[in-house]
Homo-oligomer: A and B are copies of this chain.
């Protein structure tokens, strides 16, 4: 078997693995959006068995041998072939590192953990959740150690790498520290500003059906293709399905508040555009799919914040929204734009504004890092949480339900995920600066309701590349620079000063 044949076999084996993962993805969407409650048991079994089959196929000896052989001979490969082998090897190694008994125990702990978390949150009783969380942390620490073998740096790196390939504590620490410091200064400025943002235009009587129709118009204007996707309702909005041909976006509409539904829909559509923009020819290849969670999140946040919280965007859309909700006819563009840019420290991450949001992430990142590096015990989490909220946001949750128990991630064992949200904000700002350089008239287009130039630019520069380039390489190709806090600093400082007045120089 020569290289070419070996690569063909590698692609064939991964094609089948990806077919099964696509099935898991659609079944996961169905579970959230369509499945009647009575289907839960059968679905749990189906998901567990399918996951086992994927694990078996990813860890199959012939595949491992194939990958290692191609890796040994990588100098003879073309760059894209080498990248294919690199991505395949990464998946095989991650799957092989974890014994199936450990994977099964994690799956069991996860489903028990979700139940325990729901119960604990409902009664705001952290102690009830702590034993399971402790067990989960132990299991994930074992996973991290197994994946971390022979590497330098923090054991937490192995978990970060699951969501953001190549990310390490060493690389993230200074970035998040800088983001934190900058944010704190801006939050102080807002607190001392005499400007008060009136957010009342966003609350009141907003019937869900009308919101849904308006959101659909916006999403279609963004270029979401409903011949290759769906918009549905679900308790927790998400973007799932199988890119690029079958992308499932969901939303939820609060009839008393415009924000969660509208900005949620734009957010998920940003994810959806990325998925729909992937190259169909690579869908079954190791090269196919989103390159990292931070890049994925950059696409959702770019649309949610940089576009849908901008003045040019509402110049076009406010009159249309006012057709659906006539009481908005009395609200000026300036007042509306200010309202969607209200910023103030709050307790709940998912309801936070685009500035203070990052402080919620930094808190979670520091807690995770310290948990896995052994400087923090699970039992001390609530204390650490509350102290962190006080230090970073100046407010303390009155109970754990709105504090340390608010997020689902830890119950699912998803440690290492949170930082990608803030990294996504940074990527979004750096990508958007590049887009503005390439399209000086961008705001004029947006103000005219023409979102296509931005969609097309993102497709050309981000979406269509799948995993051909690693995320940092892709960012350098787009912006000419490595990841930096500066573009976000420029963007958010400008926004804060526009709303709350200039910073003291």
Residues of A within 8 A of B (CB): 15-16, 19-20, 22-23, 26-27, 30, 34-43, 45-46, 48-50, 52-53, 225-230, 241-242, 244-246, 280, 283-284
Contacts and interface: CB of A to CB of B under 8 A. Distances in A.
A36 to B, nearest CB: 6
Nearest to A49: B19
Contacts of A229: 36, 38
Contacts of A227: 36-38
A349 to B, nearest CB: 31
Contact of A230 (B23, B36, B230, B246): B36
B39 A242 contact: yes
Contacts of A228: 36-39
A231 B226 CA distance: 23
Given A26-B27, A38-B227, 14 more contacts: A20-B46, A20-B50, A22-B46, A23-B27, A23-B50, A34-B230, A36-B245, A38-B225, A38-B228, A39-B241, A39-B245, A41-B245, A42-B242, A53-B53
A245 B41 CA distance: 8
Question: Most chain-B CB neighbours within 10 Å: which of A38, A229, A284?
Answer: A38
A229 B39 CA distance: 8
Contact of A49 (B20, B41, B45): B20
Contact of A284 (B26, B38, B45, B246): B45
A90 to B, nearest CB: 22
A16 B51 CA distance: 11
A23 B46 contact: yes
Contacts of A246: 35-36, 38-39, 42-43
A227 to B, nearest CB: 5
Contacts of A283: 42
A65 B50 CA distance: 24
